[in-house]
Copies of this chain bind each other. A is one copy, B any other.
Amino acid sequence: MPLLKKENQYSKANNMDKETLIQVHNNVKPYIHETPVLTSELINEICDCHVYFKCENFQKMGAFKMRGAINAIQNLTSKQKENGVVTHSSGNFAQAISLASKYLNIKAYIVMPENAPQVKKDAVLNYQGIIVECKSNIKAREIEAERIVKNENATFIHPSNDDQVILGQSTSAKELLEKQSDLDIILTPVGGGGLLAGTALSAKYFSSNCEVIGAEPENVDDAYRSLKSGKIEYNKNTSTIADGLRTNLGDRNFPIILENVKKIIRVSEEEIINAMKLVWERMKMVIEPSSAVPLAALLKEKQNFKNKKVGIIISGGNVDLTNLPF
């Protein structure tokens, strides 16, 4: 925060006050599930605290991303809606934008690398997204997305670095706090930063004293380093099983994170896989590797959470059942 003020390199969004979050939640409600909050005695015993899992794996299209996608599209002008939206993603946001666009009856162009797995392409097609293929590198993706913006007058929506996406993602923690108002801590995974920023906003407005902590794979610890240095850091490689967390923070969500999040815990690949298996075996839930990162973080620093009430956002459940890490 002091760093931010000194450097003044990122500007915060204007309309992210409490009233806005309440309005956003009301707007997205008709299009999302109010996902359940589940607990497990056995996991409480193992963790030596009380854990409340907010199950976005049960969300429409299987991940919290639906919340941000719906809100972003709802906030377009009529003219923008006419021309449709474009994003580049081969993961959950591609599905979220496709399904949200289907609900709101607009066109969604999804730029995907030509070598993306067929199962991911099928998911987008299933939700009536229009796939535009490109070479498998970030530059090619961006060029293709820009081309569509120009040629089709489509509006680009970033998966995490977009104010309306961040606001949409805030609704998950808001619901969690409505069900469990006395949480001491909420843990979320951090990849692009949209969920962490949104969660931090909800904790700020809808709890009295709830701390928000990020959890990140050691192999892609850009957010951890960014929080330390006060500026957005990048990953040299993206080799982690937590495929939803390979991306970087952006100038829209980083200021919020910098102001409201004091800590990011890093975990190893093995810790992620063990936490994932624990949830599958003991909670009988299908969660994707990225979703296991916060529980892995809690287990790693157990002593710091002792007897506390800890919310964990289970971010999603989209995983290839024929290729499990255990």
Q: Which residues of A contact B (CB under 8 A)?
A: 36, 38, 41, 57-58, 60, 62, 277, 280-281, 283-287, 317, 321-322, 324, 326
16 additional A-B residue pairs with CB within 8 Å, beyond A36-B36, A280-B286: A38-B58, A41-B60, A57-B284, A58-B284, A62-B284, A277-B321, A280-B321, A281-B286, A284-B285, A284-B287, A284-B317, A285-B285, A286-B286, A321-B324, A322-B326, A324-B324
Choice from B277, B286, B321, B326 contacting A285 with Cβ under 8 Å: B286
Q: Which chain B positions have C-beta within 8 A of A280?
A: 286, 321
Choice from B58, B277, B321 contacting A326 with Cβ under 8 Å: B321
In the bound complex, how far is the Cα of B286 from the Cα of A132, in angstroms? 34
Best-buried of A41, A62, A284, A326 by chain B (most CB within 10 Å): A284
Q: Which chain B positions have C-beta within 8 A of A36?
A: 36, 38
In the bound complex, how far is the Cα of B286 from the Cα of A277, in angstroms? 11
Shortest CB distance A170–B (Å): 22
Best-buried of A280, A281, A326 by chain B (most CB within 10 Å): A281
Q: Which chain B positions have C-beta within 8 A of A38?
A: 36, 58
In the bound complex, how far is the Cα of B280 from the Cα of A317, in angstroms? 9
In the bound complex, how far is the Cα of B173 from the Cα of A275, in angstroms? 32
Shortest CB distance A128–B (Å): 14
In the bound complex, how far is the Cα of B284 from the Cα of A287, in angstroms? 7
In the bound complex, how far is the Cα of B284 from the Cα of A322, in angstroms? 14
Q: Which chain B positions have C-beta within 8 A of A324?
A: 321, 324
Q: Which chain B positions have C-beta within 8 A of A286?
A: 280-281, 284-286
Closest to A41 in B: B60
In the bound complex, how far is the Cα of B322 from the Cα of A326, in angstroms? 7
Task: Decide if B58 touches A321 in the complex (CB within 8 Å).
Answer: no
In the bound complex, how far is the Cα of B287 from the Cα of A283, in angstroms? 11
Best-buried of A283, A286, A326 by chain B (most CB within 10 Å): A286
Shortest CB distance A121–B (Å): 16
In the bound complex, how far is the Cα of B326 from the Cα of A38, in angstroms? 27
In the bound complex, how far is the Cα of B171 from the Cα of A65, in angstroms? 36
In the bound complex, how far is the Cα of B324 from the Cα of A286, in angstroms? 13
Task: Please name the 7 residue pairs, one residue from A and one from B, whose CB atoms are nearest each other, closest first.
Answer: A284-B317, A284-B286, A57-B284, A36-B36, A280-B286, A280-B321, A58-B284
In the bound complex, how far is the Cα of B62 from the Cα of A41, in angstroms? 12
In the bound complex, how far is the Cα of B181 from the Cα of A141, in angstroms? 51
Please, could you name 20 A-B residue pairs with CB atoms under 8 Å apart, sorted by A? A36-B36, A36-B38, A38-B58, A57-B284, A58-B283, A58-B284, A280-B286, A280-B321, A281-B286, A281-B321, A284-B285, A284-B287, A284-B317, A285-B285, A285-B286, A286-B286, A321-B324, A321-B326, A322-B326, A324-B324
Q: Which chain B positions have C-beta within 8 A of A277?
A: 321
Q: Which chain B positions have C-beta within 8 A of A281?
A: 286, 321
Q: Which chain B positions have C-beta within 8 A of A284?
A: 57-58, 62, 285-287, 317
